[in-house]
Structure 1
Amino acid sequence: MASSITSSSYFVAIAMVLVQLSYGGSNILIKISFDKGLNQIVLVVYRHIIAMLLLGPFAYVLERKQRSSLSFSVLVKIFVLALIGTTVQLNVFYVGLHYTSATVASALNNALPSLTFLMAFLLGMEKVKMSSNRSRAKVLGTLLCIVGSLVFTFWKGHYLFKSLTKRPLINISSHIEENWVKGSGLMLIGYMGWSVALILQAMILKVYPAPLSINTLICFFVLLQNSVLAVLFGRDPNLWKLEWNVQLLTNVYCGVVNSAIVYYVQTWCISKKGPVFAAMFSPLQVVIVGIFSAVAFAERFHVGSMVGAVLVIVGLYCVVWGKKMDSLIDEDTEDDKEKLGNEKTVEISCQK
């Protein structure tokens, strides 16, 4: 029994490593494609067409019995979720990626759990009692993540060490001037949108527990919303042409891997080990992308970037620990209630 539990843990750990590799790979591919001329609106549209075509049949077949009737209010909530969590979030994030690098995107990703906790607290969904260690850890972690993100964004300092290669293995000649402050700020705004989306998604799942169908509808609404943006900002037909190059690979990769496969692998991991276990692997993405960027792009790291990244990662683990303690206490409370209920049942039976 113990060996089967251990092997299961190994499988989940390997799956989460692959998830972080997938996210890191997409950040690198997207950065290269943008600098080769790929339009961000085109990427958002194509990746969600692919994802919708992949997810739609599975949603129809697998969730036929568990889907409840789709009310107008739920439909509006999914539309807002698609608008904030995908259309706005991705477009703002992609603009930020134009100005920075894949390493920055992966590092700031670690601020997501703390930003989500902060949003949930402001909406009254998270309770904070400063008398408990777990609440203090969550608050401290959130503050560290915010400070770390600001340090990462606004303080460069001198270069910490030279790049690992004299010349980049992959040459990128960006048509947009690099601006880490603007890029990092836009990415943080994008991650805030993602945090709001995570909270909205949790609320929608309570009344419409069909994640496949929700994701398919999100893809549909994203296509509608970005079609409007395409009319305004992407009217050049040449932007929409796909050839056998890195741009096509990026569209297919993001649609198949990110928007379809990785979503369900991560959901499976969370169902097996919980969200806390999944969140623990987030810093791995920084390491993967950082090493690749140092070798492939001859990227050099600043003191401020490293200090900010460390603060964000420490803050992440503080929040994760606090949430873990919350879940353990909730489990103990449920066990106590169940035990009390069983004792009352036995007592009533004895009286009879």
Structure 2
Amino acid sequence: MGDQTSWKMMSIAFNKMKPYLAMISLQFGYAGMFIITMFSPPFAFFLERKIRPKMTLSVFLKIMLLAFLEPVLDQNLYYVGLKSTSATFASAMVNVLPAITFIMAIIFRLEKVNPKQIHSLAKIIGTVITVSGAMVMTLYKGPIVDILWYSEGGSHHRAASGSAEHEHWVSGTIMLIACIVGWSAFFIVQNKTLKEYPAELSLTSLVCFMGTVEGGVVALVMERHTSAWAIGFDSRLLAAVYSGIVCSGIAYYMQSVVTQVRGPVFVTAFSPLSMIITAVLGAIILAEQVHLGSIIGAIIIVFGLYSVVWGKSKDKTTSDKLSYAEEKAQELPVVDIKTSVNVDNDNIETAGKSHIPQDQFFTARAMKT
């Protein structure tokens, strides 16, 4: 009996931890940088053949929009912004994602806000703080802060490209902000699509496939040099494969599952992990220079972010309490007011059935007792 109770408690705890574990694992994938769609369709075809709903025009249009927002718009803007700034700066700017998602969720009525409640006020204040941190990172660079792994080789390498980076810093930041807006819109549309098409793996496959088609068309229009299409066994091929498998295929599926359980704001709440991992890897591998403005802005963003997350967690607690109360209410016995009631062995019909006024009925019952 004791073993069964322990096993049940462990099972409940694991189910509660699954969204957290999934998003933490996903952030390790994002730290390396943003699938090849050949892997997910076979799994989707066999595993979801019984639950896959019928494809409608509305769902198809939403899938096309999802494919444009994430694989095409978001990732291309991210790479352009990354080229003009740095990996650490770009990953820090991504922390604005929950605030932008929260604002868009309010606009599309996926989030409810009541300024009179503390947790709703925390979400509003956290959003303002997060946006303020992003503005600090954009407008103030400050001096370079030496990191433990900073090396002389990295210093010469960064000095060679430093002038171009300073020149395009603001434009790169604008690209990153536009990328984040597109990413937030992706989460909102994904949340609405899952309500009509609740097959996560199939949705992932379709989004990746449509993203490949749309991305190919955009690349043909924008990239005229044939050298850009050359494929070799080098870092470019590795980056493309990793970006496809981890940041599209695995990411879309995990996001779909967790979004259905906890909502789009929860999904975006784990982005600071990517910033920390990227800062460490960037210092070790790329010997990147970290500016004081980036550190200050990142700290402000994290404070604002977790103010939003705290408010969101209170929403979840309130929702769970309401669900529990509704379940208990459904378990209560239902009494038909039109049935007769026996008082002191005298059959007295209730006011709902007899012609006795309701106040006289309860007065008579009180006198009998």
TM-score bracket, normalised by the shorter chain, equals 0.7 to 0.9
Which one of 223, 226, 229 corresponds to residue 215 of structure 2? 226
CA gap 1:221/1:265 in 2 versus in 1, 3 angstroms: closer
Counterpart position of 2:185: 196
2-side partners of 1:348 and 1:117: how far apart?
Answer: 46
CA gap 1:144/1:275 in 2 versus in 1, 3 angstroms: same
Which one of 30, 41, 45 corresponds to residue 56 of structure 1? 41
Mapping for residues 1-352 of structure 1, pairs under 5 Å: 1=6, 2=9, 16-26=23-33, 47=35, 50=36, 52-161=37-146, 164-168=149-153, 177-178=164-165, 179-265=168-254, 281-343=270-332, 345-347=333-335
Corresponding letter in the other structure for 1:71: T
Corresponding letter in the other structure for 2:164: E
Counterpart position of 1:43: none
Secondary structure at 1:128's aligned position in 2? coil
Higher radius of gyration, 1 or 2: 2
CA gap 1:127/1:276 in 2 versus in 1, 3 angstroms: closer
Is 1:163–1:299's contact at 8 Å kept on the other side of the alignment? no
- Greater shift, 152-161 or 176-185, is seen at 176-185
Corresponding letter in the other structure for 2:135: L
Corresponding letter in the other structure for 1:180: W
Structure 2: gaps (5+ residues): 1-5, 341-369
Counterpart position of 2:351: none
Is 1:163–1:300's contact at 8 Å kept on the other side of the alignment? no
1-side partners of 2:325 and 2:15: how far apart?
Answer: 28
Secondary structure at 2:38's aligned position in 1? helix
RMSD: 3.0
Corresponding letter in the other structure for 1:340: A
Counterpart position of 2:362: none
1-side partners of 2:304 and 2:75: how far apart?
Answer: 24
Deviation, structure 1 residue 224 = 2.4
Deviations 1:155-184 (A, max 9, x none): 112223466333246957769921222112
CA gap 1:81/1:275 in 2 versus in 1, 3 angstroms: closer
1-side partners of 2:197 and 2:20: how far apart?
Answer: 30
2-side partners of 1:124 and 1:340: how far apart?
Answer: 27
TM-score by length of 2: 0.79
Is 1:276–1:324's contact at 8 Å kept on the other side of the alignment? no
2-side partners of 1:151 and 1:175: how far apart?
Answer: 20
Counterpart position of 2:346: none
Higher relative contact order (CA 8 A, sep 6+): 1
1-side partners of 2:18 and 2:59: how far apart?
Answer: 36
1-side partners of 2:269 and 2:128: how far apart?
Answer: 18
Secondary structure at 2:39's aligned position in 1? helix
Is 2:190–2:256's contact at 8 Å kept on the other side of the alignment? no
Structure 1: gaps (5+ residues): 28-46
TM-score by length of 1: 0.83
Number of residue pairs matched by the alignment: 329
CA gap 1:56/1:174 in 2 versus in 1, 3 angstroms: farther
Corresponding letter in the other structure for 1:73: S
- Greater shift, 240-249 or 254-263, is seen at 254-263
